[in-house]
Structure 1
Amino acid sequence: MEELQLKCDCGKVTGIVHDVKPGCGNRVVCYCASCRNFAKHVNPDGHVLNEFGGTEIFQIAPSSMEIQQGLDSIACLRLSEKGLYRWYASCCNTPIGNTVSLRFPLVGVISSFITRDQGVDSKIGPVVGISYEQYATGDLPQSMRIGKSKIAQLFTMIRKMLIWKVQGKHSPSPFYDKQGNPIVEPSIIKRP
């Protein structure tokens, strides 16, 4: 199997997703306000959002992801006390990914952290769905309303997460210690 190279914009934080192939995860575009607010907060001039305010995310098992260098440059924020943990490279404010907790077997790797020019589509497959398209900034064209229905996406992810949990792939995680604590204290920001 192949590996997916990960890198922040300045190159200080690098990583890898092991054993990738099409279908090993779930590649989606999320148009929710929370993903958009996170991207705008940490990287307002960056390349995270598409022209309609969507964030491309590759959802994988935590144990398949490894941070190889720059762990000391990883920061975390939450949009509320109970919100997702949103990880980014503090050196250049590149969004890295989203997690719920160590017990929840899922990391949503944000496309801005995936190294370009490595044949991403052939390695992990195409975008298979979109979420919260009603919150897109502008009239989302039909050509971008792609993939599985919301119900099919939900069942696909539940199935994958159950398998990952049974296989113990929720741990180790690059973002949590063995006790399940985040590797850095998240800052809480208020939503605009």
Structure 2
Amino acid sequence: MMTTVGFSCSCGALKGVLHEASPKTGCHLLCYCKDCRAFARHMGQMEALEPGGGSPLVQVLPARIEITDGADQIACVRLSPKGLHRWYAACCNTPLANTVGSSRMPLAGMWRPLFESTEAFGPVTTHGFTKAALPGGPRRDKGLGRMFGGLLKRSLAAYLNGTARRSPFFDASGAPVAAPVILAPEQRAAAYAE
């Protein structure tokens, strides 16, 4: 059963809803890569990570994300010049989502702690990049084939129904709604310090 799930940043200035949330329309995952962990550290959100440093994410189509309040708080950082666009709420440094640098790829890895309820997503099905996990984390990836297969299927469906390039993070021309800021070398070093 699909449902609509509300979300908000920590201070409540930015709010929104994710439409058509279900285990079939997204991928509930934990990402153990150093980049996701560095983003959490840079945002002061390490306490929200799972044991072993896993970032709790829900991979969804951007067209299903609707910002209802506080869209002016959307900000973007990149850990490196070629890194992912990592979106957050500037009001309180709450992570929002990770995207590639273009609206052409209909993918958003939303920060799971944003959501008022996570039941609609079902259990975590994927553990990714576990070789980079901290002590106490898993040591074997799980569900990556399912994750990539689901991503391909959802992306194709989005292109077929004309919603692939709709996103709260990119405007109609495909430009980011907030200019990405690339971390300075000292900020990057601090973000990756483990």
TM-score, length-normalised on structure 2? 0.87
Structure-2 residue corresponding to 1:136: 133
CA contact (8 A) 1:97 1:109 kept: yes
- Alignment counterpart, residue 157 of structure 1, candidates 138, 143, 151: 151
CA contact (8 A) 1:128 1:146 kept: no
SS in 1 for 2:48: coil
What is the rounded CA distance, in whole Å, between the counterparts of 2:127 and 2:98 in structure 1? 16
How far does residue 126 in structure 1 lie from its aligned partner after superposition? 1.2
How many residue pairs match? The answer is 184
Which amino acid in 1 is paired with 2:97? G
Q: What SS is found at the alignment partner of 1:183?
A: coil
Match of 2:122 in 1: 125
Which runs of structure 1 show a deviation greater than 4 angstroms over 4 or more consecutive aligned residues?
Answer: none
**Helix, strand or coil: the match of 1:127?**
coil
* Aligned-partner Cα distance in 2 for 1:151–1:163: 18
> Could you tell me how far apart the structure 1 residues matched to 2:156 and 2:57 are?
20
Aligned to 1:90: 90
Contact 2:54 2:137 in 1 (8 A): no
Task: Please state how far the C-alpha of 1:22 moved relative to its aligned partner.
Answer: 2.5
Percent of aligned positions with the same letter in both sequences?
37
1:182 aligns to what? 176
1:147 Cα deviation (Å)? Answer: 4.7
Alignment RMSD, CA only? 1.8
Aligned-pair distance for 1:167?
2.1
Distance in 2 of aligned mates of 1:87 and 1:75: 6
Question: 2:161 is aligned with what amino acid?
Answer: Q
User: Unmatched 5+ residue regions in structure 1?
Assistant: none
Contact preservation (8 Å) 2:170, 2:177: yes
Partner of 1:2: 3
Provide the C-alpha distance between the structure 1 equivalents of 2:105 and 2:149, rounded to a whole number of angstroms: 16
Aligned mates of 2:145, 2:56 — CA distance in 1: 19
Contact (CA 8 Å) 2:16, 2:68: kept in 1 or not? yes
Amino acid at match of 2:125: V
Aligned equivalent of 2:51: 51
